[in-house]
Amino acid sequence: MFDAQWIFQILPDLLSALMVNVQITVFGYLIALVVGLLIAMARRVPFFGAVLHAVTEFIRTTPLIVQAVFVFLLTPAFISPLTVGIVVIGVHYSAYTAEVYRSGIEGVAKGQWEAARALSLPARRTWGAIVLPQAIRKVIPALGNYLIATFKDTPLLIAIGVGEVLTVARQIGSASFRVVEVYTIVGFLFLLVTIPSAIILRRLERRYAAV
């Protein structure tokens, strides 16, 4: 049986910790969007692109939790686990968003590139006015899916001591011996974030994604 009074007592601590997960997701995802786009654009440079491809494949094929622990152990003590977690999450998912951007860029018709070259448009103009507006619209659904995936992976940062919701839940469960109840509440809290996010992303997909 769930004790409603006890749940209301621990709920503020869990909600406060959940905001840490949201913070990690927002900043990590922004890093992933920016770095992933830069990687996708740089991969069109022949030799440099091959190196970046190897690096992104390495990141994608190694577990996030291993990357987090490895980077944390090499990071100076004055850098907080939260900062390490945000950077690791961002870089990890940049390897995925880079592939998403790449597919969108390759989906732009070759005639568009040829027309830009024929008009002697500078690279900045070609990317900013012709290629990226078309490419990004096509990949909005995939990018949105990685936002939710980023949020669901934030509890893995418990391995480096980030005070997110799973860390607090484990502490509460250990102190109260009510592990099932506290983890059930955490599950519902995650649903309260992911379900509305999924609904919003579907609406954005219908509005902005290319048909």
d(CA 41, CA 35): 10
Question: Amino acid letter at 185?
Answer: I
Read off the pLDDT of residues 108-166 as tens digits, 9 standing for 90 and up: 878 877 777 777 778 777 787 778 888 888 888 888 889 999 999 999 999 998 988 99
Is pTM beyond 0.85? Reply is yes
Cβ atoms of 81 and 72 within 8 Å: the answer is yes
d(CA 175, CA 153): 25
Q: Which two tokens stand for residue 55?
A: 């690096």
Angle between helices 81-106 and 132-153 (to 10 degrees): 140
- DSSP output for 188-206: HHHHHHHHHHHHHHHHHHH
Give me the pLDDT at residue 148, please: 92
Give me the pLDDT at residue 129, please: 75
Q: What is the DSSP letter of 122?
A: -
Give me the pLDDT at residue 128, please: 75
d(CA 171, CA 173): 5
Cβ atoms of 101 and 37 within 8 Å: the answer is yes
d(CA 11, CA 5): 10
Give, rounded to a whole angstrom, the gap between the first and last alpha carbons of the chain: 49
d(CA 168, CA 15): 10
Give me the pLDDT at residue 64, please: 95
**In the chain, which stretches have pLDDT less than 50?**
210-211
CATH code: domain 4-208 is: 1.10.3720.10
Angle between helices 132-153 and 179-208 (to 10 degrees): 170
Question: What is the 3-state secondary structure of 25-72?
Answer: HHHHHHHHHHHHHHHHHHCCCHHHHHHHHHHHHHHHCCCHHHHHHHHH
Give me the pLDDT at residue 208, please: 66
